[in-house]
Structure 1
Amino acid sequence: MKTNDNNFQRKVAPDKSARMLETIYGCKWSLTVYQLLDSGINRPGEMVRNVEGLTTKVLNQCLRKNIEFGILERIAYNEVPPRVEYKVTGFGGKFMRILDEIEKLQCEIEQDA
């Protein structure tokens, strides 16, 4: 007699990482912030000065989201005047490699269209 055992269960999309990708791509400045950090610009004032249209308020919201996801780390120095810098975490580096792969995929899609 043949049994009808299911070997596979329904695959579900990864909830947290999918939400993270959606949030990062939904934020119009996150990719720009990553680009700034990659080029050595890691202080908020310097970021605002280097990107036309980027405000301190919007930058702070963007940085806060990235810190909550564990992509970026905030480093506050005990100096006068106060100094704050941001850096990519180990997890953030992995996440950015995935974003690079998505960008490559997009280029392939555009070339085939």
Structure 2
Amino acid sequence: MYERKLPVELDCGLHLFMEVMNGKWKISLIWSIHSGIRRPGELQRKIPKASRRLLDNQLNQLVEHGILSKTTFNQLPLKVEYELTPLGQSLIPIIELTAQWGEDHRSLLEPLFTRERIEATR
């Protein structure tokens, strides 16, 4: 099991938020589950750039943090579904606001990232 080298700073709400949301695909997972995608295979198809192992790891972290609940059905083949908890549902307005901020500032920010990609290929 991985052990952190530095202790988690929990001295303010922003640090708590960043600790829970730390992970490249967590917001996409939360949004996908909010949108009705509940099964791991469906999530993998929705986010094909992420490995199944990474998605499983981040799903487990979200379950541990109380953002998602996991239901395992007693059948063969094994069936697993994820659902947002009330705590997870409370993140949806934040994700919507964050997405809107990105759209509102796309014209300013997108050229910066395009320039970074061009410079990285040189």
* TM-score, shorter chain, exceeding 0.5: yes
Q: What is the rounded CA distance, in whole Å, between the counterparts of 2:46 and 2:97 in structure 1?
A: 26
- Give the structure 2 partner of residue 30 of structure 1: 26
Q: How many pairs are equivalent?
A: 99
> Displacement, 1:106?
5.3
Structure 1 99/20 Cα, relative in aligned 2: closer, same or farther at 3 Å?
farther
Partner of 2:58 in structure 1? 62
**For the Cα contact (< 8 Å) 1:27–1:62, is it kept in 2?**
yes
State the TM-score, normalized to the length of structure 2: 0.66
**Which among 37, 46, 57 is matched to residue 41 of structure 1?**
37
DSSP 3-state at the match of 2:90 = helix
Identity of aligned residues (%): 24
Match of 1:50 among 35, 46, 53: 46
Q: For residues 64 and 29 of structure 1, do their structure 2 counterparts lie closer, same or farther at Cα, with a shift above 3 Å needed?
A: same
Greater CA drift, 48-57 or 65-74 = 48-57
Alignment of 1:54-93 (within 5 A): 54-93=50-89
Distance 1:100 1:45 in 2: 25
Q: Deviations over 1:3-60 (max 9, x none)?
A: xxxxxxxxxx863x42342135431101111221122111111211222212111011
Q: Name the Cα RMSD after superposition.
A: 2.6
Q: Which runs of 4+ in 1 moved over 6 A?
A: none
The answer (yes or no) to whether the contact 2:63–2:70 under 8 Å persists in 1 is yes
Q: Is the contact between residue 30 and residue 88 of structure 2 (CA under 8 Å) also seen in structure 1? A: no
- Superposed CA deviations along residues 42-95 of structure 1, whole A, max 9, x for unmatched, are 111121122221211101111111112111111111111110000000111112
Partners of 1:72 and 1:83 in 2: CA distance: 16
Look up the match of 2:15: 19
Q: Which runs of 5+ in 2 are unaligned?
A: 1-9, 109-122
Q: Give, in whole Å, the separation in 1 of the partners of 2:97 and 2:42.
A: 28
